[in-house]
Amino acid sequence: MRTLTVSLGERSYPIHIGPDLSDQGEILRSHLDSKQILVVTNATVAPLYLERVLRQLEGKQVATVILPDGEQYKTMESALAVFDALLEHKFNRNAHLIALGGGVVGDLTGFAAACYQRGVPFVQIPTTLLAQVDSSVGGKTAVNHPRGKNMIGAFHQPKCVIADLSTLDTLADRELSAGLAEVVKYGLIRDEPFFRWLEEHMEALLRRDPEALGYAIERSCHNKAEVVAADERETGERATLNLGHTFGHAIETGLGYGGILHGEAVAIGMCQSADLSRRLGWLAERDVERIVALLARARLPVRPPAELGVDAFLEHMAVDKKNLEGRLRLILLERIGKAHLPIPVDLAPLRATLDEYGRA
Amino acid sequence: MRTLTVSLGERSYPIHIGPDLSDQGEILRSHLDSKQILVVTNATVAPLYLERVLRQLEGKQVATVILPDGEQYKTMESALAVFDALLEHKFNRNAHLIALGGGVVGDLTGFAAACYQRGVPFVQIPTTLLAQVDSSVGGKTAVNHPRGKNMIGAFHQPKCVIADLSTLDTLADRELSAGLAEVVKYGLIRDEPFFRWLEEHMEALLRRDPEALGYAIERSCHNKAEVVAADERETGERATLNLGHTFGHAIETGLGYGGILHGEAVAIGMCQSADLSRRLGWLAERDVERIVALLARARLPVRPPAELGVDAFLEHMAVDKKNLEGRLRLILLERIGKAHLPIPVDLAPLRATLDEYGRA
């Protein structure tokens, strides 16, 4: 097992990464200072891993909430189901929540923990690649609103993250690829050597070579932890973690949640960001090609679905929360390995990118 | 105008107190760093004060949400109406909210501000005595859950509090009394000279003598600001601000929100707390009498409604969020002017108090 730390003063916490961590109860129990534990998971993960986690909680007062699987359930309604369970069991302000699942379960459980009695602790046990490398680390929690992704949320750091590599064995290929989108993102925004490593090891990752996966996860978490430690509340560098996300969120909102995986939308959005960066003279044509090629090799979509027109795209981008005072601010790439903080972008090149990507 | 400060480092903010502040736009505008402003108010306050506030926001992009009046609307549903309005107007993460109203509007608006895009600034313009002396200061925000008051919330400090004393001219007598309950609370928990002042000036307060009201509000805010500055997150002294509130919340939950005013429930709860403190040998019989007498002179109820039985009472108290690990922890009075931090209380004396107060 390897342990990284997210350094945030008194809110610092460890990320444990290794195989079969779900069977090592002492790790989990060492982070639970309460008898009252609510485990939140979903209908896909529950049959695979819930029993294992519950076995480690023997002697505690444990309740569970099992949500349906999918981004379309990352809603206030699901959060209310968590509040109902907490209150039904008379759980107090010292109760702990455990998020067992992917990014949806983690974001939603974290948000519920942030709000229940004005904040209770929670633990992340991410079971997807995307959650292990990105969403479980950093304390961003949220639910979606029909008009925009993650529009209702909170900053609430977990007490720890337990990334059990073995849970990836049961991950669908499509989910694995979605996670790789966020892995590639770290290479793009701040870690050029990692990008080159990914170009060399993409096939190993796709065949789930444990050593390659472990390395990619640890290096991703290392990057994420550094960025979060430097800028917890996203007033600066942390915004670069949203590379491709403004485009991606517009795709997700436009298709309706559940129509596309978050990582897939981000992959498309990173291609669009790269294209826009090139149009503005920042990124070389050759590097755009490398980016698109690597994402395509990760079996990710690199163009938006044809049904999402340019006008609908712009409409959905305008309410993205990175947009200040009506000017659309986007993260661009200076080169592979270096993202620029969000800057206002003129409509003309943005439209050109959307037009380019609007053609099937 | 007098200005107090809530000292919380970079989250510090002023409380402005004075007559006709709603007509002095420069105060409000100096706290708004955004073009996008959402004013949340209710159907009682809107006809009286909304136009006045809107006049000061000319040139800005302003939207309003007018909620029905009453504690029964301090719900997630109302918060969702605020999120809908924010997104409908494409308000970004730099938008500001203004809470124009009493405690319900303030708590709900603050919670919506805490969660919208993971947190946007908000300003409190409290228009009831209770909101001016208590709920608008200190950053506790929340909505109610059918199973418990303030169960879903956040700590989110406002950018400023503007307490316009003139708004109290239109306050119903019953609302004025409800606010006096929280005023008396400060005397009870930490300011014995203020309690004596209140004994001497209760009639002046009830006839809304401006000087007396202004003094009571300022002294209350001064006490509140000191407590919050010392213990923002309620890990210690701040809990004493909840004197009577565990009883009070049980009454509110038991009667259904809207059945009794919050301040009225707190008045009853403080009498019960005083009675329990006496039973445990902490408070003199004479002081219990002084407390009950002062609250009664403030035209507040001092006994719970007969329909709320002892068992129902205990049931509702058990989920109160001050209750850790199944032991009921209550704030007791050592004497008038000195509250004790929450301590576990045995069931027997608690039952005795509830029995005593259960008899009509």
Binding residue per annotation — B105?
A: yes
d(CA A222, CA A338): 16
Q: Do A154 and B34 touch (CB under 8 A)?
A: no
Tokens of A295: 């994402």
Specify whether A31 is catalytic. Answer: no
Residue B180: CB partners within 8 Å, gap ≥ 6? B129, B202, B205, B206, B263, B298, B300
d(CA B304, CA B313): 10
Q: Do A325 and B34 touch (CB under 8 A)?
A: yes
d(CA A131, CA A71): 13
Half-sphere exposure in the Cβ direction for B320 (13 Å, CA): 28
The pLDDT of residue A181 is 98
Coil, strand, or helix at residue A190?
helix
The pLDDT of residue A306 is 84
Kindly tell me the sign of the dihedral angle through the C-alpha atoms of A310, A316, A322, A325: positive
Task: Please answer whether residues A37 and A63 qualify as being in contact, where contact means their C-beta atoms are separated by less than 8 angstroms.
Answer: yes
With residue A110 as reference, give the H or E element that holds it. helix A103-115
- The dihedrals phi and psi of A131, each to the nearest 5 degrees, come to -70, -35
Residue B237 buriedness (CB in 10 A; 0-12 / 13-18 / 19+): middle
Specify whether B234 is catalytic. Answer: yes
d(CA A48, CA B168): 60
Task: Please answer whether residues B273 and B243 qualify as being in contact, where contact means their C-beta atoms are separated by less than 8 angstroms.
Answer: yes
The pLDDT of residue A325 is 53
**Which among B92, B94, B96, B320 is the top mutation candidate for probing chain A, defined by the most A β-carbons within 10 Å of its own β-carbon?**
B92
Q: Can you list the domains of chain B with their CATH numbers?
A: 2-170 (3.40.50.1970), 173-358 (1.20.1090.10)
Lowest mean pLDDT among A113-122, A138-147, A312-321, B186-195: A312-321
The pLDDT of residue A326 is 56
Binding residue per annotation — A96?
A: no
3-state secondary structure chain B: CEEEEECCHHHCEEEEEECCHHHCHHHHHCCCCCCEEEEEEECCCHHHHHHHHHHCCCCCEEEEEEECCCHHHCCHHHHHHHHHHHHHCCCCCCCEEEEEECHHHHHHHHHHHHHECCCCCEEEEECCHHHHHHHCCCCEEEEEECCEEEEEEEECCCCEEEEEHHHHHHCCHHHHHHHHHHHHHHHHHHCHHHHHHHHHHHHHHHCCCHHHHHHHHHHHHHHHHHHHHHCCCCCCHHHHHHCCHHHHHHHHHHHCCCCCCHHHHHHHHHHHHHHHHHHCCCCCHHHHHHHHHHHHHCCCCCCCCCCCCHHHHHHHHHCCCCCECCECEEEEEEECCEEEEEEECCHHHHHHHHHHHHCC
d(CA A172, CA A128): 9
The pLDDT of residue A21 is 87
Tokens of B41: 């108010």
Q: Do B152 and A93 touch (CB under 8 A)?
A: no
CA nearest neighbour of B224 among B163, B159, B133 = B133
The pLDDT of residue B292 is 98
Q: What is the mean pLDDT of residues A302-328?
A: 77
The pLDDT of residue B312 is 86
Return the percentage of chain A with pLDDT > 70, whole number: 97
Q: Is residue A231 predicted with pLDDT exceeding 70? A: yes
Q: Do A151 and B83 touch (CB under 8 A)?
A: yes
d(CA A325, CA B94): 7
d(CA B271, CA B290): 10
The pLDDT of residue B256 is 86
Binding residue per annotation — A170?
A: yes
The pLDDT of residue A147 is 87
Task: Compare CB distances from B83 to A114, A150, A152 and report the shortest one's residue.
Answer: A152
Minimum distance, in Å, between the CA of residue B240 and any CA atom of chain A: 17
The pLDDT of residue B307 is 85
Question: What is the CA angle B13-B17-B22, rounded to 5?
Answer: 100
Q: At what angle do helices B245-255 and B310-318 cross, to 10 degrees?
A: 110
d(CA B154, CA B227): 18
Q: Is residue A258 predicted with pLDDT exceeding 90? A: no
The pLDDT of residue B25 is 87
Tokens of A64: 């569970």
Q: Is residue A360 predicted with pLDDT exceeding 70? A: no
Binding residue per annotation — B96?
A: no
CA nearest neighbour of A226 among A190, A180, A263 = A190
**Which among B145, B152, B242 is the top mutation candidate for probing chain A, defined by the most A β-carbons within 10 Å of its own β-carbon?**
B152
Which residues of chain B have a pLDDT value below 70? Answer: 319-327, 359-360
CA B44 to chain centre: 18
CA nearest neighbour of A152 among A243, A75, A67, A83 = A75
pLDDT in tens, B174-201: 999 999 999 999 999 999 999 999 999 9
Minimum distance, in Å, between the CA of residue A224 and any CA atom of chain B: 19
The pLDDT of residue B247 is 95
Task: Please answer whether residues A145 and B116 qualify as being in contact, where contact means their C-beta atoms are separated by less than 8 angstroms.
Answer: no
The pLDDT of residue A312 is 86
d(CA B325, CA B332): 19
